[in-house]
Amino acid sequence: MSKKTLNLLIAIFVGLLFLAVGALTAADVPEPDVVSIENEGYKRDIKGPVELHHKKHAEDYQVACAQCHHDYQDGKNVWKEGDPVKKCIECHDPENKQGDVDKLQNAYHNNCKDCHKEVVTSGKSEDAPFRKCNDCHEKG
């Protein structure tokens, strides 16, 4: 085997090794403990951001990932665990409802606030705030 061929094989092997390590590292991204939901895109930030305790919702409260994360196609949520997670603002406009897609604030409130209300009214917990803005938002 010539020296040129050997160098080419070594370069290919090293490249494949980097790809494999990159893929394994990307697949093992830990879920965040806390996610700050910022009020991006609004003309004015009236209420301030909301801290979502992601790990607590996923592990302690057993909220299914697809309860919040979604990719609707033909009226069905086809998002599954491991799929890329988009920022809400990528589909939900802060100012206007677009067709069947709620504007951003309504999307948050319909999902988060309504879920919290259901948890409290069903008697599962009394710790899910849904009545006062300041219970979730940092300022108000």
pTM equals 0.68
pLDDT in tens, 36-59: 888 888 888 888 899 999 999 999
Whether the predicted pLDDT of 71 surpasses 70 = yes
What pLDDT shows up at residue 30?
A: 63
118-132 residue pLDDT tens: 999 999 888 899 888
Whole-number Å distance between alpha carbons of 135 and 137 = 6
72-120 pLDDT, tens digit per residue, is: 999 899 999 889 999 899 999 999 999 989 999 999 999 999 999 999 9
Structure tokens at 123: 């008697």
Among 53, 58, 55, CA closest to 136: 53
Where exactly are the structural domains of the chain? 1-30, 31-135
Q: Of 73, 72, 35, which is closest to residue 56 (Cα–Cα)? A: 35
Element (H, E) at 14: helix 3-27
Handedness of CA 41, 47, 53, 58 (dihedral sign): negative
CATH number of 31-135: 3.90.10.10
